[in-house]
Structure 1
Amino acid sequence: MTIRYGIIGSGMMGREHMRNIGLLEGTEITAVSDPHAESREQAAGPDGGRCRAFADHRELLAAGLCDALVIASPNDTHADILRDVLATKLPVLVEKPLCATVEDCRAVLKLAEGRAAPVWVAMEYRYMPPVERLRAELAGGTAGRLRMISIREHRFPFLAKVGDWNRFSARTGGTLVEKCCHFFDLMRLLSGAEAVRVYASGAMDVNFVDERYDGRMPDILDNAFVVVDFDNGVRAMLDLCMFAEGSWWQEQVAVTGDKARIEAFVPGPARFSPDGRERMSEVVISSRATKQPVREEIHVDETILAAGDHHGSTFFQHRKFLDLVRHGGTPEVSLEDGLKSVLIGAAAEESARTGRAVELG
């Protein structure tokens, strides 16, 4: 049976979802919706030959062309779109962050109570092959008892988007929600615990400082440190810099226990590298007993790497989502997971503004 997908939001990320769905057998993209004509026409293909295109997501829903939905529209539109989508019986994968505010996330969870069809929040970074390998080693006891998590992302600035929506905290939720909910989700997953305290220091120091939109200056952070304390005693740190596109590794994830340190190293997208070539990721295990780090390259099919900017994770996530659509089950990333990652991000934004730690009840 072919699963028919509808894509709500056909900009840069929506088209990445489309490319990755296209790599899976037994799938077809039958409809896209986007209020921006150029985006939806580009996604639909020449003369609309690839799929039906709609200016409004409600028209897409009414057309009855889809078996599953992907929401990849701007963050501040998720809440309104989900109100309509949750009234259907279709499985849904919604891009991170779940919503731009904690209040909207809570409202969505309330609306979804009792819904039979699954809703999966797209936390792609869980599915990067080196991160999955790190998770497996951690679960297998290689690190011993986990005590510390360290995540570094040093990368390129936010890209240009339609309507410049990603330049403003009101539409994104702020950088520590928009960009970093991925990492707070990873912290929760790796620690197996819930955050109790968040402290952040951040600023907009380099990117977009000379830009103006209708007289408004962008207000999103371009660098920050965030410390998160968890209720099982694990502590985690995020080191974010968005004017560091010359870094060899874009993401570095490290977990340290009483036996060993495990690190995953992930390169940035090939299209932003000087030679335009893909590089392999790596995992390094450093045992306290041997004091001899063991380094391994993690190989990912180049066709999968070329389908997006997230080191294959979008493909591997979609493979699991498709299995859920076909066979049923429970989403690996729930609406509650989406809420809690936004909750930590919003607390970090508040802490960066006020200079005070934020306690999470």
Structure 2
Amino acid sequence: MRIGIIGAGAVAPLHAQGAASIEGMTLTAVCDLNLERAAAVAAEWGAAVFTDYRELLASGLVDAVVVNTPHSLHTEMVLAAAASGIHVLVEKPMATTLADCQLMEDACERFGVVLVIGQIQHFLPEKTAMAQALATGEMGQVLMIHDYRSTDYRPGHRSAWFFDREVSGGGAFINIGAHCLDRSLWMGGARAASISATNRNRFGSPVETDGAMELELANGVQVRIFIASDAPRHLDEIMVVCEHGLVSADPRTGTFVRRDGVTTQIHESSPSDIQTAFTAQLADFASVVAGGQPAVSTAHARHVVELVLQSYESAARGEAVALAVPA
């Protein structure tokens, strides 16, 4: 499978290395509006360089693409790829509106191409270790989840498009919060039935920089997500409280099980974990193109977008929002 990358941002080298590591996959093209940035990602692999994604799609050089661009641009690029008969792995969030999510799904189904959403949390080794520990049933029922992360939403400390709501869809909630929602729903084992949120705009930012969400999942699991900007130390931990103990995961240290006063480490983090995750995600994409089932469904990815949007609604109204849960 010949892979192209559209958008040579921070994670593009991880996608490129992943493609090089998978048998039968080759990176053949990289596109970015910034020619030098595209060339820097492409150089090591001898891939062609483009500054217009439409030219890449028409080049005949790719069978599939990774869409790694600002959030609101995902839809037009996925629609164009689908019309060209090219499979798509699109970075999270899937889109900035539910209508756009549906347009993407409908187009890919109509043209018979695969659409996979890059929810990287499902491939990070410390998170897969946590999921495996919960799946054994030895910890009993999941009761509560506490997920907290730090970020930096000070203007000038990330690309300008993150602060343009029309392009990004929002601030810390749609960017960092989407990761937290993804993994909390996964570990909690159900869709959300309600969400309540508050957010704050600090540093003169036009989008939210900090906030909290509280969710009740359809199975009764309680979830609290907390996001803080410019924290004194990096925070990134999900803690799952179960009937018989607790499981926590942090990419800096690993995954730990606490039961009856005894702590056991079941995964020790290493610098290679992030690359391992991106490679596994691409391998999952290739397996779906070959006829397999994705690790993350588009329905799950769409629900994450729905929850981000409803968190904004809740914060604006100052009250919880109930969600329809499919029968």
Fold-level similarity (TM above 0.5)? yes
Q: Map 1:141-152; keep pairs closer than 5 Å.
A: 141-152=137-148
Q: Match of 2:219?
A: 232
Q: Secondary structure at the match of 2:17?
A: helix
The one of 174, 177, 194 aligned to 1:197: 194
Segments of structure 1 that go 5 or more residues without pairing to the other structure are 210-217, 268-280
Report the Cα offset of residue 114 of structure 1.
4.8
State the alpha-carbon separation in 2 of the partners of residues 199 and 299 from structure 1.
Answer: 33
Report the Cα offset of residue 83 of structure 1.
1.1
Q: Match of 1:110?
A: 106
Q: Which amino acid aligns with 1:200?
A: A
* Cα distance change, pair 282–12 in 1 and its aligned pair in 2 (3 A): closer
Identity among equivalent pairs (%): 24
Report the Cα offset of residue 132 of structure 1.
0.6
Verify the 8 A CA contact 1:118 1:331 in the aligned structure 2.
no
State the alpha-carbon separation in 2 of the partners of residues 150 and 115 from structure 1.
Answer: 41
Q: Secondary structure at the match of 1:21?
A: helix
The one of 317, 321, 327 aligned to 1:358: 321
Q: Map 1:61-80; keep pairs closer than 5 Å.
A: 61-80=57-76
State the alpha-carbon separation in 2 of the partners of residues 313 and 13 from structure 1.
Answer: 11
Verify the 8 A CA contact 2:3 2:64 in the aligned structure 1.
yes
State the alpha-carbon separation in 1 of the partners of residues 41 and 256 from structure 2.
Answer: 39
Verify the 8 A CA contact 1:176 1:346 in the aligned structure 2.
no
Q: Which amino acid aligns with 1:231?
A: A
Q: Match of 1:213?
A: none
Verify the 8 A CA contact 1:197 1:228 in the aligned structure 2.
yes
User: Within the alignment, does 1:324 sit opposite 2:288 as a pair?
Assistant: yes
Report the Cα offset of residue 191 of structure 1.
2.0
Q: Match of 1:282?
A: 254
Q: Match of 1:242?
A: 229
Q: Which amino acid aligns with 1:298?
A: E
Q: Secondary structure at the match of 1:202?
A: strand
Report the Cα offset of residue 149 of structure 1.
1.3
Q: Which amino acid aligns with 1:15?
A: P
Report the Cα offset of residue 265 of structure 1.
1.8
Report the Cα offset of residue 198 of structure 1.
0.8
Number of residue equivalences:
321
State the alpha-carbon separation in 2 of the partners of residues 86 and 355 from structure 1.
Answer: 40
Q: Match of 2:162?
A: 166
Q: Match of 2:18?
A: 20
Q: Match of 1:221?
A: 208
Q: Which amino acid aligns with 1:320?
A: D
Verify the 8 A CA contact 2:108 2:114 in the aligned structure 1.
no
Q: Which segment drifts farther, 10-19 or 252-261?
A: 10-19
RMSD after superposition: 2.2
The one of 42, 45, 48 aligned to 1:44: 42
Report the Cα offset of residue 188 of structure 1.
2.1
Q: Match of 2:245?
A: 260
* Cα distance change, pair 354–146 in 1 and its aligned pair in 2 (3 A): same
Verify the 8 A CA contact 1:7 1:14 in the aligned structure 2.
yes
Report the Cα offset of residue 297 of structure 1.
4.6
Q: Match of 2:150?
A: 154
Verify the 8 A CA contact 1:143 1:255 in the aligned structure 2.
no
The one of 182, 186, 201 aligned to 2:183: 186
Verify the 8 A CA contact 1:118 1:330 in the aligned structure 2.
no
* Cα distance change, pair 110–25 in 1 and its aligned pair in 2 (3 A): closer
State the alpha-carbon separation in 2 of the partners of residues 167 and 329 from structure 1.
Answer: 38
Report the Cα offset of residue 332 of structure 1.
1.7
TM-score between the two structures when normalised by the length of structure 2: 0.90
State the alpha-carbon separation in 2 of the partners of residues 171 and 25 from structure 1.
Answer: 36
User: Within the alignment, does 1:347 sit opposite 2:310 as a pair?
Assistant: yes
Q: Secondary structure at the match of 1:343?
A: helix
* Cα distance change, pair 234–115 in 1 and its aligned pair in 2 (3 A): farther
State the alpha-carbon separation in 2 of the partners of residues 222 and 311 from structure 1.
Answer: 28
Q: Which amino acid aligns with 2:255?
A: V
1:26-50 deviation line (CA, Å, top 9, x unaligned): 432111222333332333339xx82
Report the Cα offset of residue 292 of structure 1.
2.2
Report the Cα offset of residue 115 of structure 1.
4.9
Q: Secondary structure at the match of 1:180?
A: helix
Report the Cα offset of residue 81 of structure 1.
0.8
Q: Which amino acid aligns with 1:291?
A: G
State the alpha-carbon separation in 1 of the partners of residues 212 and 63 from structure 2.
Answer: 42
Q: Match of 1:333?
A: 296
Verify the 8 A CA contact 2:240 2:247 in the aligned structure 1.
yes
Report the Cα offset of residue 21 of structure 1.
2.3
Verify the 8 A CA contact 1:196 1:228 in the aligned structure 2.
yes
* Cα distance change, pair 65–334 in 1 and its aligned pair in 2 (3 A): same
Report the Cα offset of residue 151 of structure 1.
0.9
Segments of structure 2 that go 5 or more residues without pairing to the other structure are none
